[in-house]
Structure 1
Amino acid sequence: MDILKYAEKAMSMDNETWSRHSNPWSVYTRFTALPLISLAFWSREWFDVYSLVLIALSFLWVWVNPRLFSEPKRTNNWASMGTFGERIYLNRENEVIPIHHIKACRALQVLTAMGLPFFIYGLYALELWILILGNFWVMAFKAWFVDRMVWLYIDMKDSNPIYQSWFKT
């Protein structure tokens, strides 16, 4: 199982949750997750063992975020189409998607992962600039991945009536 499939399973993403997550507010506020996790782990310096509460809350935010907002009335926007593309990408074992999308997504996943050592070391050593670099690196490539998911959705939306039904103007 790839990491995205595992994450989807851990997040308990069903059709209703995906519909809610296609709300642009959900997508854009999701970009706060990594900085909040960073701050929560960094708080061990100030709150010692009580920082575990903030760490738990930051991970709770990751789980709650896709469920927090209502299903959008319109989905003809970058954020919504990014979530649609991700759904298609996660379903690639059941429906063929163009190989150029798979290659690009795998490359972006590798590039994203390359920022994790900076992120982890920055948290471990409490090195602010390394942590900022790790956050920026991971979030920049995640945003690029979402952009690629928009492209995937645009390429695939006419291939399946379900995909077409997600698009609302």
Structure 2
Amino acid sequence: MKFENFAAKYFAMSEEVWARHTNPWSVWTRYSCFPLLLACLWWRDALQLWFWPILVVLLSWVWLNPRCFKKPANTDNWASRSVLGERILIYQREKVPTHHILVINMIIGLLSFFTLLCFAGLFFKEPISTCAGALGLILTKTWFLDRMVWLHQEVMGCKY
């Protein structure tokens, strides 16, 4: 099973949930989760017993987020199209043009590298690795979402 399919299954993304997740508020508020998760993990010793409840709340928000917003009136925006492109990548892989596959694989490789760098920095409490990994993750995730917009436009024949 591909990672994307595993993630979609883990997050229980039904048709209704995907439709709600196309709401730009859902996309942009998920960006807020990452810095908060990093802060929670960085200050885990200082938070002591509060670490676990805060971590559970943050991880719960990641899961609940796509379910908390209404389906948008239209999807004529960057954030919505990024979600629609991601759906194509996950559920209609055969429609993805080959020139996107190479770049998507490169992005996934970079996401993996920056994730390891960030978590190593968090584990060893090394601020430069943590910050470099976090910045790399945010920029690479944004690149991925932008690629999903491009994929959606190309596959659906949209002229934006």
Compute the TM-score of the two structures, normalised by the length of structure 2.
0.92
**Is the contact between residue 95 and residue 155 of structure 2 (CA under 8 Å) also seen in structure 1?**
no
Q: How does 1:91-130 map to 2 (within 5 A)?
A: 91-93=91-93, 95-130=94-129
Distance 1:32 1:132 in 2: 16
Distance 1:82 1:106 in 2: 17
**Is the contact between residue 44 and residue 51 of structure 2 (CA under 8 Å) also seen in structure 1?**
yes
Q: How does 1:8-19 map to 2 (within 5 A)?
A: 8-19=8-19
Distance 1:118 1:134 in 2: 5
Partner of 2:141: 142
Partner of 1:39: 39
Q: Give the drift of 1:111.
A: 1.1
Identity of aligned residues (%): 35
Distance 2:7 2:36 in 1: 18
Please identify, of 78-87 and 99-108, the stretch whose mean Cα deviation from structure 2 is larger: 99-108
Distance 1:157 1:132 in 2: 37
Distance 2:148 2:100 in 1: 8
Please identify, of 47-56 and 68-77, the stretch whose mean Cα deviation from structure 2 is larger: 47-56
1:67 is the counterpart of 2:51: no
Q: Give the drift of 1:73.
A: 0.8
Distance 2:44 2:27 in 1: 28
Counterpart residue identity of residue 19, structure 1: A
Aligned length: 158
Q: Give the drift of 1:130.
A: 2.1
Structure 2 spans left out of the alignment, 5+ residues: none
Distance 2:127 2:56 in 1: 21
Please identify, of 126-135 and 52-61, the stretch whose mean Cα deviation from structure 2 is larger: 126-135
Distance 2:120 2:107 in 1: 21
Compute the TM-score of the two structures, normalised by the length of structure 1.
0.87
Give RMSD over aligned pairs: 1.5
**Is the contact between residue 20 and residue 72 of structure 2 (CA under 8 Å) also seen in structure 1?**
yes
Distance 1:133 1:54 in 2: 24
Q: Give the drift of 1:148.
A: 0.4
